[in-house]
């Protein structure tokens, strides 16, 4: 029997998520050398020493199943935000939580509103569940909330707001988001994806926890992959009203987060100094990169995240290949419909300087 008959309707038409090239991939293609990976928005400061120590202590227990509800970590997160534990759910990365949200709330034929471009997993999970992605072009590289409002109808079930947005690094304003939220009908849920939220500067952007405390129909997503440097352990969490979170538990795997990830996340959460250092590293690197990109005459989108969206003026695949020859990995922008742009992660100062040095060599500027 043909696979088209066997597979769930529509999934064969999904464009699979394509991550940035890994160091292992480029080593296989270009040989072993010192690689600087600025493609996946990882925290190049690395994980908290407290997280590493917690993993080392837990290693001898990996023959045991993990704590399914993630009791200790869930309590720590609830205490951090002064909310009941029933408003917290933890899973295998924010990606998995996005899938859980689609599983829990989206029916076939319902619509899901999102920006274009934004994190492509929103589209994928919508299509898996037989929903219809409704994409609204960014305005000046930022969510166009007014145009998104015009697309809301009785079929709209979910709205994804990636804030700051991936890949542009822009954030919607507090005023614009509050107006947007106040205009929405009660039958839909807003998912505020704050994977990069800790890097946003200033108080003029919405903070998901404020809406959770006010019991708005909002689910906030956060992750330990970025500011906490635990991307390889795949651990994230969602916050929301008790009834919304209860629905997520209905579709949750029995043991979604392994033992090492749980204890590492607790360790990272308790290391405020490391989180502050990670944010400072990004802020200092951002200033340096802005200055150098300005000197070289490149346009870039001012970012509230740990990456910068840069226009390299020619096909960024060419720049991607040229940078690979210099031992640097970035993320070309064609996948988001911006063929001359690339997304560049802000790293340690030595990483940033290496990137700028390579760029000057390539362009002769």
pTM: 0.94
Average pLDDT of 133-154?
98
> Mean pLDDT over residues 251-275, rounded?
97
Contacts of 273 (CB under 8 A, 6+ apart): none
**Stretch among 193-207, 235-249, 270-284 having the lowest mean pLDDT:** 193-207
CATH topology of domain 49-270: 3.40.640
Q: CB neighbours of 176 closer than 8 A, spacing ≥ 6?
A: 145
pLDDT of 31: 66
Closest CA to 257 of 273, 283, 238, 276: 238
Find the farthest-apart pair of alpha carbons in the chain and give their distance in angstroms, rounded. 61
61 pLDDT more than 70: yes
Q: Answer yes or no: is pLDDT of 163 > 60.
A: yes
CB-based contacts of 79-83 (< 8 A; 24+ apart in sequence)? 80/269, 81/209, 81/212, 81/239, 82/213, 83/209, 83/212, 83/213, 83/239
For the chain, give the mean pLDDT.
94
The pLDDT value recorded for residue 10 is 73
Contact 172, 142 (CB under 8 A): yes
Structure-token pair, residue 284: 């200092």
- Give me the count of residues in the chain: 365
* Mean pLDDT within 334-354: 97
With beta carbons less than 8 A apart as the criterion, state whether 121 and 93 touch.
no
Distance of CA 271 to the CA centre of its chain: 21
pLDDT band at 32 (very low <50, low <70, confident <90, very high): low
Query: What mean pLDDT is predicted for residues 178-203?
Result: 94
Torsion over CA: 115, 121, 127, 129 (sign): negative
Report, as an integer, the average pLDDT of 304-315: 97
The whole-number pLDDT of residue 314 equals 95
Q: pLDDT class for 159, splitting at 50, 70, 90? A: very high
The answer to whether residue 33 scores a pLDDT higher than 80 is no
56 three-state secondary structure? helix
pLDDT at 27 over 90: no
What sign for the dihedral angle of Cα 246, 248, 212, 109? negative
pLDDT of residue 21: 65
β-bridge partners, 336: none
Q: pLDDT at residue 35 above 90?
A: no
Question: CA 84, CA 164: separation in Å to the nearest integer?
Answer: 26
Confidence band of 363 (pLDDT split at 50, 70, 90): very high
Q: Do 125 and 98 touch, CB atoms closer than 8 A? A: yes
Query: Sign of dihedral through CA atoms 205, 210, 216, 218?
Result: positive
- Tell me what percent of the residues of the chain surpass a pLDDT of 90: 88
pLDDT above 90: residue 1:
no
Look at residue 258 and tell me whether its pLDDT is greater than 90: yes
Average pLDDT over residues 331-360: 97
Q: Read off the pLDDT band of 283 (50, 70, 90).
A: very high
Distance in angstroms (rounded) separating the CA atoms of residues 114 and 101: 14
pLDDT tier for residue 200 given thresholds of 50, 70 and 90 = very high
Residue at token pair 């227990």 = 61
Spans of all domains in the chain: 3-45+273-363, 49-270
Is the pLDDT at 148 greater than 70? The verdict is yes
CA–CA dist 138, 155 (Å, integer): 22
Q: What is the mean pLDDT of residues 85-97?
A: 97
DSSP-derived secondary structure for 58-85 = HGGGTTSPP-TT-HHHHHHHHHHHT--G
At 34, is the pLDDT very low, low, confident or very high (cuts 50, 70, 90)? confident
* Statement: residue 18 has pLDDT above 70: no
CATH of domain 3-45+273-363: 3.90.1150.10
- pLDDT band of residue 204 (cuts 50, 70, 90) is confident
Model pLDDT, residue 123: 97
């Amino acid at each position: 029997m043909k696979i088209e008959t066997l597979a769930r309707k529509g999934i064969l038409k999904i464009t699979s998520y394509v991550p940035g090239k890994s160091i292992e991939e480029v080593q296989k293609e270009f040989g072993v050398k010192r690689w600087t990976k600025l493609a996946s928005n990882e925290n190049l400061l690395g994980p908290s020493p407290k997280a590493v120590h917690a993993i080392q202590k837990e290693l001898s227990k990996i023959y045991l199943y993990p704590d399914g509800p993630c009791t200790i970590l869930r309590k720590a997160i609830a205490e951090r935000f002064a909310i009941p534990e029933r408003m917290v759910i933890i899973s295998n990365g924010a990606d998995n939580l996005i899938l859980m949200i689609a599983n829990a709330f989206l029916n076939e034929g319902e619509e899901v509103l999102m920006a274009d471009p934004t994190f492509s997993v929103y589209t994928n999970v919508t299509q898996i569940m037989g929903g219809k992605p409704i994409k609204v072009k960014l305005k000046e590289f930022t969510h166009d909330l007014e145009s998104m409002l015009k697309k809301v109808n009785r079929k709209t079930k979910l709205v994804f707001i990636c804030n700051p947005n991936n890949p542009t690094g822009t954030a919607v304003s507090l005023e614009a988001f509050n107006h947007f939220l106040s205009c929405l009908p009660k039958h839909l849920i807003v998912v505020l994806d704050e994977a990069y939220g800790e890097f946003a500067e200033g108080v003029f952007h919405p903070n998901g926890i404020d809406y959770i405390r006010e019991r708005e129909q909002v689910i906030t997503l956060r992750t330990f992959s970025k500011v906490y440097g635990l991307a390889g352990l795949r651990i994230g969490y969602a916050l929301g009203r008790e009834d919304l979170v209860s629905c997520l538990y209905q579709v949750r795997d029995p043991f979604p987060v392994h033992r090492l990830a749980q204890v590492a996340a607790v360790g990272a959460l308790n290391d405020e100094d490391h989180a502050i250092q990670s944010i400072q590293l990004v802020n200092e690197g951002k200033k340096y990169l802005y200055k150098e990109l300005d000197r070289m005459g490149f346009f870039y989108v001012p970012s509230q995240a740990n990456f910068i969206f840069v226009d390299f003026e020619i096909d960024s695949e060419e720049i991607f290949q040229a940078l690979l020859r210099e031992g640097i990995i970035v993320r070309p922008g064609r996948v988001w419909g911006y063929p001359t742009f690339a997304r560049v992660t802000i790293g340690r100062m030595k990483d940033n300087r290496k990137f700028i040095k390579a760029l000057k060599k390539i362009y002769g500027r």
